[in-house]
Amino acid sequence: MSKPASLNNKQIRFLRAEAHSMKPVVLIGAAGLTDNVVNEINYALDDHELIKVRVNADDRDDKKSMIDSIVRQTDSILVQAIGHIGIFYRRNEKNPVIEIPKK
């Protein structure tokens, strides 16, 4: 997969607003970030482009590590991380779902 393009502040704000009313589509439980969970995140990003993931980690460093790992393994962009929720974006080049404002 190619390196994701970066987004400017206006685009990040737009995606945060889009994700505001969304519910998490993937929950990371006690088993942590397994290959199956990463596959589910990839499928969700392919279908929706913008998703919320609930990361259940006791330690702040573990949570940050899982979020960073999701970004790396899925070639996505972290839009926002608040509490146990991470918002991720990856454009579907074949069938775009979200029209992001230009820079």
Rounded to two decimals, the pTM is 0.92
Rounded Cα gap, residues 92 and 2, in angstroms: 12
Rounded Cα gap, residues 50 and 47, in angstroms: 9
Phi, psi for residue 94 in degrees, rounded to 5: -75, -35
Residues 77-93 have pLDDT tens digits of 999 999 999 999 999 98
pLDDT at residue 4 in the model: 54
Mean of pLDDT over the chain = 91
pLDDT at residue 15 in the model: 96
Is the residue at 41 inside a domain? Answer: yes
Give the tokens for residue 12: 């990040």
Is the residue at 31 inside a domain? Answer: yes
11 pLDDT more than 50: yes
Rounded Cα gap, residues 49 and 51, in angstroms: 7
- Give me the number of domains the chain comprises: 1
Q: What count of Cα atoms within 13 Å lies in the side-chain half-sphere of residue 17?
A: 9
Is the residue at 3 inside a domain? Answer: no
pLDDT at residue 5 in the model: 65
3 pLDDT more than 60: no
Residues 56-75 have pLDDT tens digits of 988 899 999 999 999 999 99
Domain encompassing residue 30: 9-89
pLDDT at residue 10 in the model: 94
